[in-house]
């Protein structure tokens, strides 16, 4: 996970699996049978946080982001079980967790917020990559990390058009957190502008 000046490191980590798959992706998404250990309704607030960040990142990369199908899958049963154990064993109280997340989260919803969610991108040729994201990551950092992954996905699909173009340069701007909000910066310079599209909320 990337750190940003004056804003410290997030307490939650994100990881990317940048692999091309053909048909069977169960080894990445889990593929375990049986009902999930958490009711679907208890995952809705975490999903909303993640989908808002993803929508903001995709909007910033238009029109090139339209070439991909990007979806958010629920965490698999093993990941949800791990998150349930973490919440049960953690000395952090629900109120402390909500304060750290910047939004009030009911105790029953916390496992969804500390789970790793698979975000799936499929290009026109059918190549699929996954990004595992934690909704508990600060909202601006979550959106920026998703945008960074999507830019890499565009490059891996041999799409050379810069998205978004860096003013006066042939390369794209890079996403970054600046003053706790998503910005675009010049790779050879500093911040250029904040994101124009709707920014992810903290709730």
Axis-axis angle for helices 44-60, 139-156 (nearest 10): 50
Q: What is the DSSP annotation of 22-63?
A: SS--HHHH----S--SS-GGGGHHHHHHHHHHHHHHHHHTTT
Per-residue model confidence as pLDDT tens digits over 89-104:
999 998 999 998 888 9
Q: Which residues pair with 72 in a beta bridge?
A: 119
State which residues form the domain around 56: 15-23+38-162
Residue 19 pLDDT: 37
Residue 160 pLDDT: 87
Residue with tokens 């049978």: 33
Residue 145 lies in a domain: yes
Per-residue model confidence as pLDDT tens digits over 143-188:
999 999 999 999 988 888 999 999 999 999 999 999 999 999 999 9
Residue 178 lies in a domain: no
Q: 99 is written with which tokens?
A: 């304060």
Residue 174 lies in a domain: no
pLDDT for residue 11 is more than 90 = no
Residue 3 lies in a domain: no
Residue 133 pLDDT: 97
User: Contact, 58 vs 150, CB < 8 A?
Assistant: yes
Residue 172 lies in a domain: no
Residue 127 lies in a domain: yes
Average pLDDT estimate for 52-80: 96
The pTM for the full model equals 0.81
Residue 167 lies in a domain: no
pLDDT-based confidence at residue 197 (cuts at 50, 70, 90): low
Q: What is the Cα gyration radius of the chain?
A: 17
Number of structural domains the chain divides into? 1
Most confident of 22-31, 122-131, 194-203: 122-131
Residue with tokens 């979806």: 71
């Amino acid at each position: 996970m990337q750190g940003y000046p004056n804003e410290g490191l997030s307490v939650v980590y994100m990881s990317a699996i940048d692999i091309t798959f053909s048909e069977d992706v169960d080894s990445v998404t889990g593929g375990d049978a049986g009902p999930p250990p958490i009711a679907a309704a208890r995952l809705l607030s975490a999903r909303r946080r993640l989908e808002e960040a993803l929508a903001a990142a995709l909007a910033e990369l238009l029109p090139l982001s339209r070439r991909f199908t990007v979806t958010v899958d629920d965490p698999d049963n093993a990941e949800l079980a791990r998150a349930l154990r973490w919440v049960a064993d953690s000395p952090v109280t629900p109120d402390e967790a909500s304060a750290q997340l910047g939004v009030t989260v009911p105790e029953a919803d916390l496992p969804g917020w500390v789970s790793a969610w698979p975000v799936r991108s499929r290009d026109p040729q059918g190549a699929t990559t996954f990004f595992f994201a934690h909704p508990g990551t600060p909202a601006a950092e979550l959106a920026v990390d998703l945008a960074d992954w999507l830019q890499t996905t565009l490059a891996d699909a041999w799409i050379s058009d810069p998205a978004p173009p860096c003013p006066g340069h042939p390369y794209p701007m890079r996403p970054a957190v600046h003053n706790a909000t998503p910005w675009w910066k010049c790779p050879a310079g500093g911040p250029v502008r904040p994101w124009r599209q709707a920014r992810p909320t903290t709730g």
